[in-house]
Amino acid sequence: MEPDLQRVRRILVVNGKGGCGKTTIATNLAVAYSKAGKQVALIDQDQQGSSAEWHRVRSEQHEDIRLIEAYRREGMYETRTFQTRMPGDIERVIMDTTSVGHSHDLEVLIKNADIILVPMMASAIDMRVSMRFLTDLVTHRAFRARPRAVGVVVNRVHAERGLPESVEHFLSCADIPHVATLHDDRGYSDAAELGCGISELASQSRAESLAREQAALETIMEWVDEQPICSRVTVAALRQRPLGAKRQGTQQDSDTAARA
């Protein structure tokens, strides 16, 4: 059975910068969607196999997340291959990638994505590399041919200090939606080791920070779910839509219209 393309959202987690939180966000988002009752596939496109390793240690007691180790196969980026290897009931596909530098790699990833999340840490170096990456992304011919929703997830922000002004300045200059902020929290590395999501950790002493991070992941899901898929919207239209603004009509209507 081929997946029902009307229901599937393919979420690409990507940045040219290594260590910015791609695997952390991909795995935690996979868990968050799974806990919300969605059928989830996690695609590991990275030869390091970090998501695959996370999946290997994941307990069977947790929600089931299907893993596809795309980097192991030839032709991994072919849309056809990609679809036939995807179980038919999947509703959310989350793609964890390597740090993409090559234009061809970016092209095939863009072509297989409906929505693009760019994790970014708040340092000057990370912002500089991310700005270059975002520019490469939105000016890429594959993107311009069919623009998709792109949003930044700011990662590892100090919980007490909050979002630095330099990041707010960066985000307004980049003119890309700021989807959510994740904080620097030990729970993410604990969860990575245990093959679970931050929302699956049980710790009464850290309940408050875990709940805060869970809320941020829910904000990402809400944003993703309100974006048009395989859209023909223009970059200008994407820029005009304020972050978190509700779209008109039902989701199915908008999905169908976007894919028509």
Ligand X SMILES: Nc1ncnc2c1ncn2[C@@H]1O[C@H](COP(=O)(O)OP(=O)(O)OP(=O)(O)O)[C@@H](O)[C@H]1O
Quick one: which of 20, 115, 120, 224 contacts ligand X (CB under 6 A)? Answer: 20
Using CB under 6 A, which of the segments 12-20, 33-41, 53-61, 126-134 binds ligand X? 12-20
Q: How is residue 103 written in tokens?
A: 């234009």
Quick one: which of 3, 9, 11, 24 contacts ligand X (CB under 6 A)? Answer: 24
Quick one: which of 3, 16, 21, 228 contacts ligand X (CB under 6 A)? Answer: 21
Q: Bin 195: left if φ > 0, else alpha if -120 < ψ < 50, else beta.
A: left
CA distance 247 to 206: 35
- Shortest distance in whole angstroms from residue 100 CB to Mg ion: 12
| Residues 6+ away with beta carbon under 8 Å from 14 | 22, 95, 97, 100, 106, 109, 116, 117, 118, 137
Q: Which of 235, 224, 227, 236 is nearest to 255 (CA)?
A: 227
Examine residue 24 and tell whether it contacts Mg ion (CB under 5 A). Answer: no
SS3 of residue 119 by DSSP: strand
| Residues 6+ away with beta carbon under 8 Å from 140 | 103, 106, 107, 110
Residue 214 vs 231, nearer CB to ligand X: 214
Examine residue 50 and tell whether it contacts ligand X (CB under 6 A). Answer: yes
Residue 97 vs 199, nearer CB to Mg ion: 97
- Shortest distance in whole angstroms from residue 41 CB to Mg ion: 17
Quick one: which of 17, 22, 58, 156 contacts Mg ion (CB under 5 A)? Answer: 22
Q: How is residue 154 written in tokens?
A: 């700011």
Q: Where are the beta strands (DSSP E) in 62-203?
A: 66-68, 92-96, 115-121, 149-157, 178-183
Residue 70 vs 229, nearer CB to Mg ion: 70
- Shortest distance in whole angstroms from residue 51 CB to ligand X: 8
Examine residue 99 and tell whether it contacts ligand X (CB under 6 A). Answer: yes
List residues near ligand X by CB under 6 A: 18-24, 46, 48, 50, 99, 155-156, 182, 184-185, 188-189, 192
List residues near Mg ion by CB under 5 A: 22-23, 50
